[in-house]
Structure 1
Amino acid sequence: MLTPEAYFGQLYKGARELKAAEKRGVVPDSIDFSVQEVCAACKNNITPPTKPKRCAACKSVLYCSLDCAKRDWATPPAAGAKPHRDLCADNKRHMQRLDDTVAIAKQFPWGRLEKDGSLNLDIARARFDVLGSDGYGFWSHRGGPVPHAQAGDLGKMFAANTPYAKAMAALIAAFDHLDGKDLLQSTHLTDAQGWKLPPTLIPYREFASPSKRPALITEFDGGVVDWDSWYRWRKLPKESPAALLMDFPMSVHEILVRCLQVTNRKAGSASKRVSLTVHYLGAEVELNFIPLFSELALLLPYHDIKLVMFGENVRKLGEEAKKKPSSLVAKSSPSTPVFTYKAPDECGSGAISVFLCTSKALWEPNMSDFPTPDALVACNAGLGSYREWIPVVQAAHRLEIPFGVTEYAEQSAEHQVANFPLMLSYGGIRPKSRDEYEIGLNPFQKPGQRAIPQYRLPNVSNGFTIVVVKRTAVAAAAPKSVDDVASRVAALDLDLD
């Protein structure tokens, strides 16, 4: 069985070979980290297509033969799914985003694209010796073939009593990792301990000298609107891989400022500070780098931000903390943050306090410990993959709580928006018009196309934003059961993540 040592070891070996070849000035064709291509129709992953073909119209779907292409054109791949002829036009439109996502990756020296157009994030991390699970500071993560701790309704396949399911269960167990494990210590990691990078590549939150400090954001010409401007504001060279982690806090900023417009960099002043409470739902890997959310305090001067994290992994971390009473998590509570940060006065003295909801995994409106927030956010949410999102979408509409998320693919974002009316109808809530659920390319997406064997559609971590709710009037009534809604939603083709 594959072990973490073997898995990460092979990736480090590949990264060393790549760096050595780059140093020589010639990278041979044999050094390539693309995924094995698979026909979208027959899905034969035993014998990959020798000369894969793409749909001539959308250029996004791979086939092993003309026969497979013809069959996929008219035949749905599964019950309830659509044949390619019903998706081709949308695929073609989505492919127009590919140049934008590729450009975001190519601006970085480490943003090497493979033959299939993807960027192998594990190889990118291995270049800097920060690839692994426990003990890698902010970079710690589960990794491996199944990187998510929670598989949602899509994970039911692993519960079956089959040889495949048993093998997958064993694989998941082998790569077990507790997100936020460093929070079970009594002190937070320093910037140097967390980033594990050369000093010139670290976006410090504590500044050794004025020359290292970013400018007051209100005085930074044009503001921070993409990775290029963020790196300039932070005085970082593009050689820094910081974007591979900072996509999470920067995506939250993008959702709050541009998508939901609940605040902006000029909203506060020295004489009138802004209080902002944000509930962050579905936290997983983010627990490994909570100090990086201090960036919000630098980006929003004269703000006092309360960020509360919810999720099964947060609850699980709370259970583990009971064994370590001196840990940061054990000492935290609904009134005591697990992390605090205040920006220097020269940067606007923005402040952030991060809290953990360890008592329950699922968010609910009007919780006694954490009252209704100013905004809800979630990164790589998978609104169509986890039935737990249904009551959240309903409550956000009913209570007019601004709610924004990121998703991997524009295609899946559109499928989810198309099914909001179904989710809401069972709560007696009138949905908004389709145009109000704005979907946009996230300029702070994690650089690099994900490797998908059958498709070439833009698919990137934190790649696209969805405005789920802005403050508008809605009609509400008592909801029906979540199970009732979930059974109907599960019958639809909601998500391609």
Structure 2
Amino acid sequence: MECAAKGGGTPCSGPPIRRCQRCQVVAYCSLAHQVSHRSAHKRECERFEQQMKRANTLNDFPFTFTQIQDTRCSFLNRLGVHLLGMWICECSCGGVSASSYDHSRLMSSWNLPSELCPCRGPSSPIPDCLTSWKDYYEWRHIPFCSPASLLLHWPLTIFRAIQLATLESLLPEFANELRIHYLGPERELLQLVIFGELQALFPGVKLYIDLVGPAIPNVRDGEKIDLCTYAQCNDMGCECQSSADSYRERVDTRLSSAITLRLHAGCYHDCYRELLQDSFPHIIIAPNAGVAAYKSWIPTLEVIKDLKVPAVFSDYCEEACHLAASCIRSVTGYAPRIPIQINPFRQPLCVEESALYLPCYSNCFMFGL
């Protein structure tokens, strides 16, 4: 957390311990800095105040582990998965990025016992109304002490994006095939096997997902990954162990892959023409997009506007979505057709370091064009 008036002309006198009494979202190092920032903050204070009123809703999860006040590192340590496999980038102490990690193999294990993770297909059809973590955990017979949602928020956010676009009649009809352009992946690149859960969420549908972003290492550009089963548990007697090889990149396979992932290094506006030759998308999805934070989004938004394809964005907090929607409006000329709303499948552990006191979760809020 930094002083909200940092960089305003005079240096900060100490840590930002004076919070705005009205919104409780920003903090200042001194009364002088708070006074100097008053006119700038006035425009946002009321909006922040309204966003803070939704804090209790945002912090409400059915999980038992979210009720424990703990750091991410301590929590993952207690589970025995700290800096292990797909969990390696779920805290900041490891300093691991997708570009620095060994990319020669696909991490395929939950590193959890079978009762805590969905390592096999569902035992019953997907419910007609799947709109919360409670619905999902009960359907997949996962106990609420399981941390699986910390990784599953990626495929469930895709599922929610499809739900929202369908409800707003933005998504063209699809039957046996769904093509998605997925923009800006980062830590997902170390958790790609989690996308195998999409075959349970979209039964009978072949999914083609093109992941595009500057965080993809050049050595992985063009990589194709077929997912035929689910991420494995660590129980040696479990049936999921027999399909371990299904998670590796394969040129020739006798198994019919439900999901095909392709990686593309670079910004979407630089490589979309080549993608469209092979895969015109039904929908574009940009998780934790940070649209207002990166100028590189402007040419990408222009491309999305010209493609006339539904696009769904998520971000860490409501304010980030608000700023993103304003930026998109200035580029496209129209407001989001899917209004800003809470993602019921947001990651249930809050971001530990954030610029504001607003509750922040990965994939916390969503909106769409």
TM-score by length of 2: 0.79
User: Cα offset for 1:315?
Assistant: 4.0
**Paired residue secondary structure (1:111):** helix
Matches within 5 A, 1:13-412: 39-41=3-5, 47-48=14-15, 52-74=17-39, 83-104=40-61, 107-112=62-67, 114=69, 120-132=71-83, 136-141=84-89, 143-144=91-92, 175=95, 177-179=97-99, 181=101, 183-185=103-105, 188-190=106-108, 194-204=109-119, 206=120, 213-217=122-126, 220=127, 223-259=129-165, 261=167, 273-318=175-220, 332=223, 337-341=224-228, 351-357=258-264, 360=266, 362-363=268-269, 364-367=271-274, 370-412=278-320
Report the CA distance shift for 1:226/1:350 in structure 2 as closer, same or farther (over 3 A).
farther
Counterpart of 2:239? none
Structure 1 residues 453-494: Cα deviation after superposition (integer angstroms, max 9, x where no partner): 663212221111120x2xxxxxxxxxxxxxxxxxxxxxxxxx
Report the CA distance shift for 1:389/1:361 in structure 2 as closer, same or farther (over 3 A).
closer
**Paired residue secondary structure (1:419):** helix
Write the distance in 1 (CA, Å) between the matches of 2:336 and 2:208: 31
**Would you say how many aligned residue pairs link Structure 1 and Structure 2?**
337
User: Cα offset for 1:402?
Assistant: 1.0
Unaligned 5+ residue runs, structure 2? 231-255
Report the CA distance shift for 1:176/1:198 in structure 2 as closer, same or farther (over 3 A).
closer
Counterpart of 2:235? none
User: Cα offset for 1:65?
Assistant: 4.8
Structure 1 residues 286-331: Cα deviation after superposition (integer angstroms, max 9, x where no partner): 1112121111111112211111111223343426xxxxxxxxx8xx
Counterpart of 1:462? 363
Structure 1 residues 107-157: Cα deviation after superposition (integer angstroms, max 9, x where no partner): 32222465xxxx63333222212222xxx2222328537x9xxxxxxxxxx
Instruction: Kindly name which structure, 1 or 2, has the bigger radius of gyration based on alpha carbons.
Output: 1
The CA RMSD over aligned residues, in Å, is 3.2
Aligned-partner residue type, residue 104 of structure 2: L
Unaligned 5+ residue runs, structure 1? 1-36, 75-82, 148-174, 208-212, 320-328, 344-348, 425-430, 470-497
Write the distance in 1 (CA, Å) between the matches of 2:21 and 2:101: 48
Report the CA distance shift for 1:63/1:112 in structure 2 as closer, same or farther (over 3 A).
farther
Write the distance in 1 (CA, Å) between the matches of 2:110 and 2:102: 13
Counterpart of 1:415? 323
Aligned-partner residue type, residue 133 of structure 2: W
**Paired residue secondary structure (1:462):** coil
TM-score by length of 1: 0.60
Counterpart of 2:344? 443
Structure 1 residues 7-37: Cα deviation after superposition (integer angstroms, max 9, x where no partner): xxxxxxxxxxxxxxxxxxxxxxxxxxxxxx6
Q: Is the 8 A contact 1:101 1:447 kept in 2?
A: no
Report the CA distance shift for 1:176/1:125 in structure 2 as closer, same or farther (over 3 A).
closer
User: Cα offset for 1:67?
Assistant: 4.3
User: Cα offset for 1:380?
Assistant: 0.7
Q: Is the 8 A contact 1:41 1:71 kept in 2?
A: yes
